[in-house]
């Protein structure tokens, strides 16, 4: 049994929806379908969720919303046009949109959530109707009826654990259930959405609740590439990757799936496959708990910019009890998050995201370290990128670090920092951002043909 989640680009037009119908028809194991709101049809287009955000903003500014509502309704109407669906599906979408003209927004913490969630909710109703017209036993399933109960955190909800058991009760449903992604209901009965892109989370929750064999996440790419296609010409797409590798890759800039989306399926040990609606025969990328084929030691090279590094050196630092603790307390007191902290005998480097620092905060931080730690050397390096070489197979293979650093040296790329976590799933290099692209490229060609 499978859960199939379709993203916005897979549902943006009638042509795309036809592909989705064919995909569902082709495999009777696809019994639970989770849908996003209609996405962009082309680069210049707007996602329905973004139009709904505009509705919220207009209402809060006491501006008219009729034109926006007409535009949104038009999107559903255009998708429905070639399909022979019962007229009441569109009528119900129209009614649901019209209520936003009067829905109170003052003293209503769930105003945005209610409006935004309608993008997926209306789409689920429509897709269920279209599947029925194609002769499939489909049924729209509201998240409340399904048992999707979430925390009361507007636009940032989290699933409540009890939901999984409730969802599991639908395990033997005979109908193909079409479930809107992106939102659930609080215990008090209010709509709360997950963070943006959250339909991926809904799909993973439904998959975990039902304990299905596979969670298929349909998008518009042939899976995950081994490197950024903007950096490397036609990189290979990854066939199989573990959750751990995926986590390392997405941390360093690979964002095919919503970050949190993997949590529920990871805990439930359910494999996820990322597939292309426009090329469904391509096997895509399979994300699993365990990977047997470790022949290829490196699975991907990822990178992200926007880091800075604070270097602290103090003679005999290693003999001072609580030294690191005192440094980190300064970070905590200033509410600063750090990402990595490689250390030597007498020095440590603290790497953090630069967007946390204003010039003022930076000065305070350095002043506090200077005053409280009294280091022999203290400096900050800006404009760093982190380049990460990822692969579970590295553990069994000697020389990956040597091959990487040799390749970087050949390109004259200076390493500000190397960090190989004890997990040995990844090696991270801190380099100047100007050299990020060249570094990814040379590392990719070192480990891939």
Q: How many CB atoms lie within 10 A of CB 194?
A: 27
Identify which of residues 119 and 271 has a Cβ nearer to ligand ASP in the complex.
Answer: 119
- Contact between 47 and ligand ASP by CB under 6 A: the answer reads yes
- Phi/psi at 366 (5° precision): -65, -40
- Contact between 197 and ligand ASP by CB under 6 A: the answer reads yes
Single residue of 181, 184, 264, 375 touching ligand ASP by CB under 6 A: 181
Q: Is 5 annotated as a binding residue?
A: yes
Report which of 110, 98, 30 is spatially closest to residue 65, judged by C-alpha positions: 98
- Contact between 49 and ligand ASP by CB under 6 A: the answer reads yes
Count, in order, helices (H) and strands (E) of the chain: 14, 15
Q: How many CB atoms lie within 10 A of CB 295?
A: 8
- Contact between 199 and ligand ASP by CB under 6 A: the answer reads yes
- Contact between 75 and ligand ASP by CB under 6 A: the answer reads no
Q: Is 411 annotated as a binding residue?
A: no
- Contact between 37 and ligand ASP by CB under 6 A: the answer reads yes
Cβ burial of 104 (10 Å; 0-12, 13-18, 19+) is exposed
- Pattern 138-177, ligand ASP, x by CB under 6 A: ----------------------------------------
Single residue of 13, 36, 149, 277 touching ligand ASP by CB under 6 A: 36
Question: Phi-psi bin for 316: left (phi > 0), alpha (psi -120 to 50), beta?
Answer: left
Helix (H) or strand (E) holding 123: helix 111-133
In whole angstroms, what is the distance from residue 345 CA to residue 314 CA? 9
Q: Is 120 annotated as a binding residue?
A: yes
Cβ burial of 37 (10 Å; 0-12, 13-18, 19+) is buried
Candidate ranges 195-203, 290-298, 328-336, 346-354; the one touching ligand ASP (CB under 6 A): 195-203
Identify which of residues 47 and 125 has a Cβ nearer to ligand ASP in the complex.
Answer: 47
Candidate ranges 102-110, 193-201, 236-244, 320-328; the one touching ligand ASP (CB under 6 A): 193-201
Q: Is 49 annotated as a binding residue?
A: yes
Identify which of residues 154 and 393 has a Cβ nearer to ligand ASP in the complex.
Answer: 154
- Contact between 8 and ligand ASP by CB under 6 A: the answer reads yes
Q: Is 184 annotated as a binding residue?
A: no
Q: Is 8 annotated as a binding residue?
A: yes
Single residue of 94, 166, 196, 368 touching ligand ASP by CB under 6 A: 196
- Phi/psi at 53 (5° precision): -60, -40
Total residues interacting with ligand ASP, rule: CB under 6 A? 13
In whole angstroms, what is the distance from residue 414 CA to residue 165 CA? 53
Q: Which residues contact 346 (CB under 8 A, 6 or more apart)?
A: 313, 314, 315, 316, 317, 318
Count of residues making up the chain:
449
Q: Is 335 annotated as a binding residue?
A: no
Candidate ranges 56-64, 78-86, 197-205, 387-395; the one touching ligand ASP (CB under 6 A): 197-205
**Binding positions for ligand ASP, rule: CB under 6 A:** 8, 36-37, 47, 49, 119, 181-182, 196-200
Q: Could you tell me which residues are annotated as the binding site for substrate?
A: 49, 120
């Amino acid at each position: 049994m499978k859960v199939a989640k379709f993203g916005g680009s897979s549902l943006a037009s009638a042509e795309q929806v036809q592909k989705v119908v064919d995909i569902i028809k082709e495999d009777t194991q696809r019994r639970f379908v989770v849908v996003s709101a209609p996405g962009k049809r082309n680069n210049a287009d707007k996602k329905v969720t973004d139009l709904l955000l505009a509705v919220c903003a207009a209402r809060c500014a006491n501006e008219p919303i009729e034109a926006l509502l007409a535009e949104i309704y038009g999107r559903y109407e255009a998708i429905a046009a070639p399909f022979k669906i019962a007229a009441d599906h569109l009528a119900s979408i129209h009614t649901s949109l019209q209520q936003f003209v009067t829905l109170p927004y003052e003293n209503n913490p769930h105003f945005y959530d209610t409006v935004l969630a309608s993008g997926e909710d209306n789409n689920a109703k429509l897709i269920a109707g279209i599947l029925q017209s194609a002769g499939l036993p489909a049924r729209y399933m509201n998240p409340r009826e399904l048992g999707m109960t979430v925390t009361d955190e507007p636009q940032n909800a989290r699933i409540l654990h009890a939901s999984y058991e409730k969802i599991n009760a639908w395990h033997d449903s005979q109908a193909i259930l079409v479930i809107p992604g992106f939102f659930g209901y609080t215990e008090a009965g209010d709509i709360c959405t997950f963070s943006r892109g959250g339909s991926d989370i809904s799909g993973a929750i439904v998959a975990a609740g039902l304990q299905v064999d596979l969670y298929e996440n349909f998008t518009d790419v042939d899976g995950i590439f081994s490197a950024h296609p903007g950096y490397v010409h036609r990189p290979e797409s990854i066939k199989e990757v573990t959750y751990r590798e995926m986590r390392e890759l997405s941390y360093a800039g690979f964002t095919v799936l919503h970050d949190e989306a993997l949590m529920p399926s990871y805990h439930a040990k359910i494999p996820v496959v990322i597939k292309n609606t426009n090329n469904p025969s391509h096997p895509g990328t399979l994300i699993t708990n365990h990977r047997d084929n470790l022949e290829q030691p490196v699975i991907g090279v990822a990178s992200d910019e926007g880091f800075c590094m604070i270097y602290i050196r103090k003679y005999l630092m290693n003999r001072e009890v609580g030294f690191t603790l005192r440094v980190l307390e300064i970070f905590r007191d200033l509410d600063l998050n750090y990402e990595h902290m490689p250390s030597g005998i007498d020095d440590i480097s603290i790497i953090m995201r630069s967007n946390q620092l204003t010039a003022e905060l930076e000065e305070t931080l350095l002043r506090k370290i200077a005053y409280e730690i009294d280091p022999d050397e203290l400096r900050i390096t800006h404009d760093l990128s982190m380049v990460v070489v990822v692969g579970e197979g590295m553990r069994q293979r000697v020389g990956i670090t040597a091959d990487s650093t040799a390749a970087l040296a050949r390109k004259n790329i200076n390493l500000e920092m190397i960090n190989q976590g004890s997990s040995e799933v990844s090696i991270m290099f801190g380099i100047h951002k100007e050299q990020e692209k060249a570094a990814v490229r040379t590392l990719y060609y070192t480990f891939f043909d």
